């Protein structure tokens, strides 16, 4: 008769730290190495309090290009996530090094510091994440809606967003 296993499907597997994660750990930057994405890019989770020193260290390490800043909602009642896909441009590399940094934020208090002062490319991308998800990037020089009207109520890409009543224009033709 086989013995029952103590492992459950929820048991998390150990993720081996990548090159960038090891360098950050050696230099005292707290973070969690997550499972690499489908393209094999290293994914790092950091607390919002440490985002600016963490991002500054990555910039000093050579990640001088913010390829994409993004956000997503983990589900109703869950966290909002602000992510940063960074690349290290080097003259002698066949392919640039890549890393993805994610910050998980509670839905009730989705605030974190802006990385605009490290990577200027974050300007419009942080504004879009603010407009669609309600993530407040403190210290951003011009944090205002970019896609929705200024008087719009709510954040349309949140999974718990309820669309206001929609009235069709009768004389549109």
- Looking at 37-41, 75-79, 137-141, 162-166, which range is the least confident one? 162-166
Can you list the domains of the chain with their CATH numbers? 19-138 (3.30.460.80)
Average pLDDT over residues 29-42: 91
Average pLDDT over residues 9-23: 73
Q: Which residue has the higher pLDDT, 20 or 171?
A: 20
Average pLDDT over residues 28-50: 93
47-99 pLDDT, tens digit per residue, is 999 999 999 999 999 999 999 999 999 998 899 999 999 999 876 778 889 99
Rounded CA-CA distance 31/21 in Å is 8
pLDDT for the residue numbered 5: 47
pLDDT class for 169, splitting at 50, 70, 90? low
């Amino acid at each position: 008769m086989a013995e029952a296993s103590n492992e459950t499907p929820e048991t998390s597997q150990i993720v081996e730290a990548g090159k960038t994660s090891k360098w950050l750990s050696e230099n005292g930057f707290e973070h969690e190495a997550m499972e690499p994405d489908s393209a094999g890019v290293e994914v790092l989770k950091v607390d919002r309090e440490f985002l600016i020193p963490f991002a500054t260290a990555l910039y000093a390490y050579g990640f001088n290009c913010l390829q994409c800043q993004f956000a997503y909602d983990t589900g109703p009642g869950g966290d909002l996530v602000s992510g940063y896909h960074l690349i290290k441009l080097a003259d002698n590399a066949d392919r640039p090094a890549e890393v993805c940094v994610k910050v998980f934020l509670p839905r009730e208090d989705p605030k974190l510091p802006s990385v605009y002062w490290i990577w200027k490319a974050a300007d419009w991308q942080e504004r879009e994440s603010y407009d669609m998800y309600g993530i407040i990037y403190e210290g951003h020089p011009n944090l205002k809606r970019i896609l929705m009207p200024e008087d719009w109520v709510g954040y349309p890409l949140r999974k718990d967003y309820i669309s206001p009543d929609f009235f069709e224009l009768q004389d549109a033709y």
